[in-house]
């Protein structure tokens, strides 16, 4: 949430940011409610002073008639004050509700535009260990996809032919687009989760196992609510929602707390199943295991002091890149444009891996700096070394998302006999096995 002071003092900047984001945030409504609130505050303070002055005059009055008149006058002021205070509470509630609908301000380095205007900042290939920084960054629309490789199949063919993925029975049980992972396909999914968590533990993160159901207030805190209620699943008749990402419960771990500077930065990693009411388009988007109502993901969440979050963002991107590189995948890091940022983000990097069979880039990680936007909504605070209490800065990144990672592994490392060569990093998590074996 943006502070009302920022909106009041930087109104033109906020208005431009809304336009650049393509947002319909109710800025004028916020300003009008703030103006009414400030006027009511003046009235309330004036009436409170009048009430207090009347109390002093009543205590000093010697004449009974005069004293009674003062009492009646004080009662009238108190009645008016009660009404004004009730009106103030209503306006404050209205203002708070409107503020929740204003997105974060993009960082000046975020490119203007939509999805095609994102810029590539890093490219690499885990198969040979190569990596190069793209400086200056290049718009994604200006870069051609890698050339098609003869004989490559998409993962939905590889997975079905080898018996790793069972779409038919998944659809029978739960409807499209659900599926079963079977045999070595299921084992690889489990191995990847365990390995990723261990990678992040080695990077300095504390592992946590979060609830997969959270209260509505938690989703308000991280910015999914109230705007995106139609993209999530709610347990009917309760205040509980299925998590769209582990970011939600982990970020809210410290809500309404004041952390001491000695514990910062705080780094947490968590696995969760994620549940999202995706809107599916026709064609290739619905094929395979790239999108679904349920998927697995390992998440990284950081809490920092206010001056440390931009350096932390660079490190967080590096932590996610380490994972995709170790899996022997071709990848790129792109900085999203203003129109493609999430509601709460000030800057976001997506990490995409190349799927050579489907001939497309798949996003497997999204890494964002939220500054104090989430902290204001969730009341996440710390005490600085000067003793002042400030809002934390929060960051998060996928570390990384499945099953798109699984899809890219199948398409990149499949062998002619249908087996899939395993990256060296995950082999210890599969008992030293060197390849996935088809189910015959």
In a domain? residue 106: no
In a domain? residue 173: yes
277: left (phi over 0), alpha (psi -120 to 50) or beta: beta
Q: Are residue 204 and residue 304 in the same domain, yes or no? A: yes
pLDDT at 67: 73
Asked whether the beta carbons of 324 and 353 are under 8 A apart, the reply is: yes
In a domain? residue 192: yes
**Is 70 exceeded by the pLDDT of residue 6?**
yes
Q: Are residue 300 and residue 426 in the same domain, yes or no? A: yes
Q: Are residue 180 and residue 302 in the same domain, yes or no? A: yes
Mean pLDDT, residues 13-36 taken together: 97
pLDDT single digits (tens) 304-327: 999 999 999 999 999 999 999 999
Q: Are residue 217 and residue 346 in the same domain, yes or no? A: yes
**Is 60 exceeded by the pLDDT of residue 265?**
yes
In a domain? residue 105: no
Average pLDDT, the chain: 95
Q: Are residue 127 and residue 255 in the same domain, yes or no? A: yes
- From 75, 99, 123, the end of a domain falls on 99
In a domain? residue 108: no
pLDDT single digits (tens) 364-400: 999 999 999 999 999 999 999 999 999 999 999 999 9
Q: Are residue 148 and residue 172 in the same domain, yes or no? A: yes
Q: Are residue 136 and residue 45 in the same domain, yes or no? A: no
In a domain? residue 416: yes
Q: Are residue 171 and residue 70 in the same domain, yes or no? A: no
- Contact residues for 203 (Cβ-Cβ < 8 A; gap 6+): 267, 319, 322
317: domain CATH number is: 3.30.930.10
- Contact residues for 331 (Cβ-Cβ < 8 A; gap 6+): 123, 124, 125, 126, 321, 324, 325, 351, 352, 353, 354
Mean pLDDT, residues 253-279 taken together: 96
pLDDT at 283: 54
- 378 vs 370: CA distance, rounded Å: 12
Range of the domain at 152: 115-436
Q: Are residue 95 and residue 120 in the same domain, yes or no? A: no
Q: Are residue 162 and residue 48 in the same domain, yes or no? A: no
Query: Which residues are known catalytic residues?
Result: 276, 291, 363, 366, 404
pTM of the model: 0.93
**Is 80 exceeded by the pLDDT of residue 356?**
yes
Residue 78: pLDDT band with limits 50, 70, 90: confident
In a domain? residue 368: yes
- From 65, 99, 133, the end of a domain falls on 99
18: domain CATH number is: 1.10.287.40
**Is 90 exceeded by the pLDDT of residue 282?**
no
**Is 90 exceeded by the pLDDT of residue 74?**
no
Mean pLDDT, residues 117-131 taken together: 97
pLDDT at 229: 94
In a domain? residue 377: yes
Q: Are residue 228 and residue 124 in the same domain, yes or no? A: yes
- From 56, 74, 99, the end of a domain falls on 99
Q: Are residue 91 and residue 62 in the same domain, yes or no? A: yes
Residue 285: pLDDT band with limits 50, 70, 90: low
Mean pLDDT, residues 405-415 taken together: 97
- Total domains in the chain come to 2
């Amino acid at each position: 949430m943006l502070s009302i002071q920022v909106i009041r003092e930087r109104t033109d900047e906020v208005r431009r940011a809304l336009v650049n984001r393509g947002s319909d945030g109710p800025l004028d409504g916020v300003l009008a409610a703030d103006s009414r609130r400030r006027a009511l505050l003046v009235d309330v303070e004036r009436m409170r002073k009048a009430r207090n002055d009347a109390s002093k005059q009543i205590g000093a009055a010697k004449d009974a008639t005069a004293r009674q008149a003062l009492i009646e006058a004080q009662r009238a002021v108190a009645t008016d004050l009660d009404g004004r205070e009730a009106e103030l509470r209503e306006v404050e509630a209205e203002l708070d509700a409107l503020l929740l609908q204003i997105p974060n301000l993009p960082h000046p380095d975020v490119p203007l535009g939509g999805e095609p205007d994102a810029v590539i900042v890093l490219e690499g290939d885990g198969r040979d260990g190569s990596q190069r920084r793209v400086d200056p960054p290049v718009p994604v629309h200006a870069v051609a996809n890698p050339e098609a490789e003869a004989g490559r199949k998409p993962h939905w063919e590889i997975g079905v032919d080898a018996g790793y993925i069972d779409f038919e029975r998944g659809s029978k049980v739960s409807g499209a687009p659900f599926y079963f992972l079977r045999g070595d396909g299921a084992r690889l999914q489990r191995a990847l989760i365990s390995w990723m968590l261990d990678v992040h533990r080695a990077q300095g993160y504390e592992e946590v196992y979060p609830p997969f159901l959270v209260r509505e207030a938690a989703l308000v805190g991280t910015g999914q609510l109230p705007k995106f209620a139609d993209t999530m699943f709610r347990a009917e008749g309760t205040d509980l929602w299925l998590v769209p990402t582990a970011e939600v419960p982990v970020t809210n771990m410290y809500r309404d707390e004041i952390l001491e500077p000695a514990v910062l930065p705080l780094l947490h990693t968590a696995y969760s199943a994620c549940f999202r009411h995706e809107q599916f388009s026709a064609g290739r988007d619905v094929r395979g295991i790239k999108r679904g109502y349920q998927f697995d993901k390992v998440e990284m969440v950081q809490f920092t002091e206010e001056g440390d979050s931009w350096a932390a963002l660079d490190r967080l991107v590096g932590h996610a890149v380490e994972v995709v590189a170790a899996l022997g995948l071709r990848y790129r890091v792109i900085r999203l444009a203003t129109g493609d940022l999430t509601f709460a983000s000030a800057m976001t990097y997506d990490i995409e891996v190349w799927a050579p069979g489907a001939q497309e880039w798949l996003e497997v990680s999204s890494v964002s700096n939220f500054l104090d936007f989430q902290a204001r909504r969730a009341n996440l605070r710390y005490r600085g070394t000067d003793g002042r209490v400030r809002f934390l800065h929060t960051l998060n990144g996928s570390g990384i998302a499945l099953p798109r990672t699984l899809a890219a592994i199948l398409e990149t490392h499949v062998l002619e006999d249908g087996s899939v060569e395993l990256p060296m990093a995950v082999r210890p998590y599969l008992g030293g096995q060197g390849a996935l074996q088809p189910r015959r």
